[in-house]
Structure 1
Amino acid sequence: MSPTLTMRRWHRFGVDFLVATADTGARVGWVDLRSGEVVVERPMLEDSLRLAAQEYLRADVHEIVLPVPRRAALDAFDAYVTVPDDAADDASGSVAARLERLVAEGWLVLHDVPVGRQGAVLDHLLIGTGGVFAIRVHAHPDAHVVMSRTSVEVDGRPTSYLRDARLEQARVQQVLGAAAGLHVEVRPVVVLDTDVPPVLAGDALPDAALVLGRTDVPQLFREVPPRLAATRVEAIRAAAGRRSTWTA
């Protein structure tokens, strides 16, 4: 069966949106019918979303379902449209599902963002007035995790989690800044999805990245004080939602 996009109109509380979802139920993005702004949560599907929106407006119906063409530019459809694996495993409490709760509070949440020239994919990108966060999730359900100011160890073995988080942060910062035409400060976040809370060795948390447990999400981000003006947030959101930002 060919993959599809469903376009539905959401008109209430003073807003008028066209919302696009995949056949899996995952949201792909939306179009603000008042301003014309297009926000894409699955960057590889930007072209398909725009085409579907045009077809919807021409059809003048409440809902329309359209096939997604299998063009070369969209060969990675499944990777970007499906709900991330952790969300599928535990839709009520996964990191992806927890981050999605922030959408209603004005945050933009992107999943499976292509950030590397060799196909590297960032788990989640979170953008709001509280800042821009590049989030990497590491699942260790039965492991003993110890963290210090400079390291994260799993069952006594050192990891590269902090170093990798900084490399991803630098890449996202570079790409978003170039696309938005302004300096974008990105904070790296490592989420440790464990059954047993990590142990802190010493009295200092890691300083290379913000290290959280799964249950810290989303509340910690709700408590982050605003640091970006609304106009700056919109510029960054617009850049992040363009497929060309991540595929250039």
Structure 2
Amino acid sequence: MDEVLTVRRWRRYGADRLYVTHETGARVGSVDLQSGEVVADDPVLEARVRRAAQAYLRSDVPELVLPVTSELASIDALDGAGLTAWLGGPDDDRPRDERGSPVGSRLDRLADDGWQAVHDVPLGRQGTVVEHLLVGPGGIFTVTERRHPDSHVRATSRTMHVDGRSVPYLRDARLEAARVQGLLQSAGCAGVAVHAVLVITGDLERDVLDPPQDILVIARHEVPNLFRRLPARLEPARVSAVAQVARRRTTWAR
């Protein structure tokens, strides 16, 4: 019997992604259709994630269910040029910074500094996804990017505006961090504190007299160096333990 994969598109808060899951519900990977970032839970599955995404983009349906051996194997390697043109790929030899350097890739650079990043964390069964969960010496952070490359973004302690229009990004990020904190604590990570980070792609202005207090609002170019400068709060063993819990699917299926 053929192995079955499901591809779904998720568009929210300016993000546009495809999620590939196994018939068991296990996540296989994801594709960011804006930045081109491909994340596979197992690196050997990256080609499979790319081909599943290509099949989805050709199908023009809201959700695609496809047998791996029949559907994906029928996609000729040369036909992958269209997906590579959209997403970039191994044959794209431009420097990473010229390709936009996705936030997830920037966070992964912190590995040598003792940080661990978990990408595309699924919260519950309603399709909510935390873009990045970062665990390291400086603490535990949910990291969410909001892209407004041609807009002015102004942040105060309580409000955020994009070209003068109020957006709920601060509230949503705080709620997300609180939910992640609660689930980690329920999974056995007693006493952990999770803080929210908003990464803004655009012309960011932080109010110097009334800046955000309980949430980090940073520009994309500040990632990853800002995290390297944070004071140490967690021991390496604690970082490893929390990251291990964060990678368990059962932690978030509550």
Asked if these proteins are the same fold (TM beyond 0.5), I'd say yes
Partner SS for 2:25: helix
Distance 1:181 1:201 in 2: 35
Code of the aligned partner of 2:210: A
Determine the structure 1 residue equivalent to 2:212.
206
Native 8 Å contact 1:87 1:97 kept in 2: no
* Counterparts in 2 of 1:212 and 1:87: CA distance versus 1, 3 Å: farther
| Bigger RCO of structures 1 and 2 (CA < 8 A, at least 6 apart) | 1
| Match among 59, 71, 85 for residue 23 of structure 2 | 71
Q: How does 1:175-186 map to 2 (within 5 A)?
A: 175-186=183-194
Determine the structure 2 residue equivalent to 1:159.
167
Aligned: 1:233 with 2:185: no
Distance 2:153 2:252 in 1: 33
Distance 1:183 1:201 in 2: 32
Aligned: 1:150 with 2:136: no
Partner SS for 2:232: coil
Determine the structure 2 residue equivalent to 1:105.
113
Distance 2:36 2:105 in 1: 6
Distance 2:124 2:154 in 1: 29
Native 8 Å contact 1:188 1:210 kept in 2: yes
Q: CA RMSD in A?
A: 2.6
Native 8 Å contact 2:138 2:233 kept in 1: yes
Distance 2:222 2:122 in 1: 25
Native 8 Å contact 1:87 1:96 kept in 2: no
Determine the structure 2 residue equivalent to 1:192.
200
Native 8 Å contact 1:84 1:112 kept in 2: no
Code of the aligned partner of 2:184: L
Distance 1:159 1:132 in 2: 25
Aligned length: 180
* Counterparts in 2 of 1:157 and 1:171: CA distance versus 1, 3 Å: same
* Counterparts in 2 of 1:149 and 1:108: CA distance versus 1, 3 Å: same
The runs of 5 or more residues in structure 2 that have no matched partner are: 6-18, 38-86, 89-95
Distance 2:243 2:224 in 1: 19
Aligned: 1:134 with 2:86: no
Deviation (angstroms), 1:189: 0.5
Deviation (angstroms), 1:182: 1.1
* Counterparts in 2 of 1:181 and 1:133: CA distance versus 1, 3 Å: closer
TM-score normalised according to structure 1 size: 0.65
154-163 vs 103-112, which moves further = 103-112
